[in-house]
Amino acid sequence: MQKHELRDHLRKALFIPSMKARTKEQALEELLDLFVAEKYVKNKQLVLEMLKQRELLGSTSLGKGVAVPHGRTTATADVIIAFGRSEKGVDFDASDKNPVTLFFMVIAPHNDEGNIYLPILGTLVIILKDAKKRHALNKVETFEELVALIDGE
């Protein structure tokens, strides 16, 4: 998957440049609420439980202030990505013990067309390993800035 292909799965309505969450659970809910408000997710509790169960397997924090909570569910029809930025950071049980400031939540159906769920996760990891990208993402204020950074402009 190419970086620019991620833009097809980003939505302006799923963009929070200044999250309010202070805990891991609040962060999961704040991002998930965007999916629910836009009707990308039909059953909030089902998806929230799936995300919590995924976190019990191991934190989806990648370290260096980044987390990619994700999972598959019957409560959605499309692979969609939400982005959130926390100025103060959230304790997300990261292995490096650093608070998370950048969140990309990826929700996918069990059988997504083209089987792109895992390639999306892989592409996000590649982008987020780049210290310059992380630094720039921590400064985004608009959805358009986010898309330009993801596209590599």
pLDDT tens figures, 46-92: 999 999 999 999 999 999 999 999 999 999 999 999 999 999 999 99
Question: Quick one: pLDDT at residue 82?
Answer: 97
Question: What is the pTM for the complete model shown?
Answer: 0.94
> Is residue 106 over pLDDT 80?
yes
- Residue pair 95/60 in contact (Cβ under 8 Å)? The answer is no
Summarize the confidence of residues 91-107 as an average pLDDT: 96
Alpha-carbon span 147 to 27, nearest angstrom: 22
Question: Quick one: pLDDT at residue 7?
Answer: 86
Sign of CA dihedral 39, 41, 42, 44: negative
Catalytic residue among 4, 9, 70, 110: 70
Domains and CATH numbers, the chain: 3-151 (3.40.930.10)
Q: Is 70 a catalytic residue?
A: yes
Token pair 């191991």: residue: 58
> Is residue 4 over pLDDT 80?
no
Question: Quick one: pLDDT at residue 2?
Answer: 64
Tell me the pLDDT band of 115, cut-offs 50, 70 and 90.
confident
φ, ψ (nearest 5 deg) of residue 34: -65, -45
> Is residue 1 over pLDDT 80?
no
pLDDT digits (tens, 9 = 90+) for 19-39: 999 999 999 999 999 999 999
pLDDT digits (tens, 9 = 90+) for 138-147: 999 999 999 9
Alpha-carbon span 147 to 41, nearest angstrom: 22
pLDDT digits (tens, 9 = 90+) for 67-77: 999 999 999 99
Query: In this structure, are strands 80-90 and 100-108 parallel, antiparallel, or unpaired?
Result: antiparallel
> Is residue 153 over pLDDT 80?
no
Alpha-carbon span 87 to 117, nearest angstrom: 28
